Structure 1
Amino acid sequence: MQLPSDVHLGLPLPAPPDWLALISGSYRYYHYGCDGVDDRGWGCGYRTLQTICSWLLEAGPEGLVARSVPSLREIQQALVEMGDKPPSFSRSREWIGTVEAALCMDHLYAVPGRLVHVHRGRDLEKELGSLYTHFQGGGGPVMVGGDRDHSAKALLGVCSGPKGPHLLVLDPHYYGTSGPLTRDKLQGGGWVCWRELSFFEGSSFYNLCFPQARTRGPPGGNG
């Protein structure tokens, strides 16, 4: 299975930025059905976690415990083994969120995930500084999900300029089997896109999961 990598590269900025920080290192884009499993409607958290895991393997620290990206079933089984989920969770269609993603990163790779709770979508602006520091310091994809907005996504960057602050959002909900999946196709379809903060639901809470790992070399995502 060859998945497209670094699908944000070449994406135009919303406007000339006053400041900008992007993901460093490399990742693969995991999405609905990418491994032959039709997980539409429940798999977005798993796919976002898989994208983060691919970054850990391709760009993250040496000495990781696991050496592969876990399948959906392997993620479920890990959560059962940890005691976070009952045995019935394995092979189910139950979704996962940022808490489960943090548990799996720690369990599979010995990489903790820092969880940040944002009470309302409009309060995401308060976390712009944390996101800037994370990406500027060589950090990987940040998983985000909420209650009213329960569609998991990954954040790959943050910027601000004449059009206000924007977040670079990677959406795992793409599903399709016709033809090769390219950066141009994903960017043209809005599957990776700079979004204004109003894109996030103002009345929904959000949790963010920051993987606590950095690229092996100097940060290189802001060039």
Structure 2
Amino acid sequence: MGLVAEFDIPCEGLPLVGVAAAVPAATVTLELQFNHGDRPPFLVTVTGGSPTATERALADADDVAEYTLVGRAGETRRYQAMPAFSLEEQLGDHLDDLRGLEALATADAIIERIEVTGDGWIQTGWFADRETFDEFRTFWQRNGYFRLRRLTRDGEPEPPGDGLTDRQREALRTAYELGYFDIPRNASLEDVAAELGISASSVSERLRRAQTQLIEETVAPMWPPLLE
């Protein structure tokens, strides 16, 4: 069964990270056209922020040879940018296995969204199976650049998601706001239960189930599977 994952690749050497850092008020997303040789053009969508600051950042970026404003709609602008370097040239100082990067481009996976931030990329992707996802994860972890945000099976109603029910999410949020998770603790289970209008035992069960679900969707997938 396929998987849907959302994860961070916190690597400042990735394309357009400097542009995103220069316009922190904007949301920058990127598409790569891998069928255009070793320097695939960047299709850049920028929403919010100053258009002037964005275009100044594109003009000043070391990894952008030239760019063109393709169109705009409201606060969203679309650019095509030609890279100044191949991905191998750009990432050569950051990765220890460039051939592994090339292999990822042909894996049974679709990276459907790349959000560029001031310290790396946030990616959302679909993976044919767990083995394909593990190859992708292992490559970036080996190079020190991987943080899993969410992992779900395809076919879920809202992939990727955290898997929490509305009641579990409400219990977590209420417990957090009252100070139940503070150190030292500033609220008891009874306090959270009173706020929610349920019993302390029900609160305890919801919190345990919610925390287990979050661990299964975030921390647990980053470890090798246990031997059966």
Shared fold, TM over 0.5: no
Q: State which structure, 1 or 2, has the greater radius of gyration over its C-alpha atoms.
A: 2
Hey, which of these two has a bigger chunk of helix by percent?
A: 2
Higher relative contact order (CA 8 A, sep 6+): 1
Hey, which of these two has a bigger chunk of strand by percent?
A: 2
TM-score when scaled to structure 1?
0.28
TM-score when scaled to structure 2?
0.28
